[in-house]
């Protein structure tokens, strides 16, 4: 009983029990014989199909918007909400410049914190894409109230 357990333990410690991960074809040392014509014909007839993204079914969502933010924004659009509140992270030292740019785009700046590059703005739902297109905006999330259960017994 001790021997099989000890052997298994050695395999685990040595890593022999880990799954084999295929990282593509192994490189072979160059040989003096030329490759066969069958291998050459097969290699020349195989064509790689370029990978193209599937056509979008909805309006493209900005890359700076978090996945959860995309869901909240889509729900707001379905529900007919006119304005959403965005929490924005800006580049270092660009908070005031970003706030000015967003005001020019029609956003209402509700709060800023230049020490951490934070903005909280209210913007029409249709203008979220323009907000995320601002160069100094690093990350955007849609602010939403947190529902908490009533602690009263």
Q: Give the three-class secondary structure for 143.
A: coil
Domains and CATH numbers, the chain: 82-142 (3.30.70.920)
Query: Which pLDDT tens digits describe the chain residue by residue (153 residues)?
Result: 555 555 544 444 444 444 444 445 554 555 555 555 554 444 445 455 556 655 544 445 457 888 888 899 999 999 999 999 999 999 999 999 999 999 999 999 999 999 999 999 999 998 998 999 999 999 999 987 777 777 888
């Amino acid at each position: 009983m001790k021997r099989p357990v000890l052997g298994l333990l050695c395999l685990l410690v040595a890593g022999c029990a880990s799954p084999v991960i295929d990282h593509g074809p192994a490189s072979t040392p160059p040989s003096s014989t030329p490759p066969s014509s069958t291998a050459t014909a097969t290699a020349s007839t195989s064509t790689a199909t370029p990978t193209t993204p599937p056509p979008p079914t909805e309006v493209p969502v900005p890359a700076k918007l978090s996945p959860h933010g995309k869901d909240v924004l889509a729900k707001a659009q379905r529900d007919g909400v006119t304005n959403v509140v965005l929490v924005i992270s800006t580049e270092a030292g660009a908070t005031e410049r970003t706030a000015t740019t967003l005001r020019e785009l029609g956003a209402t700046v509700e709060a800023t914190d230049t020490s951490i590059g934070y903005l909280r703005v209210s913007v029409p739902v249709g203008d979220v894409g323009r907000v995320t297109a601002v160069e100094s905006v690093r990350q955007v999330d849609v602010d939403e109230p947190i529902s908490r259960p009533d602690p009263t017994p």
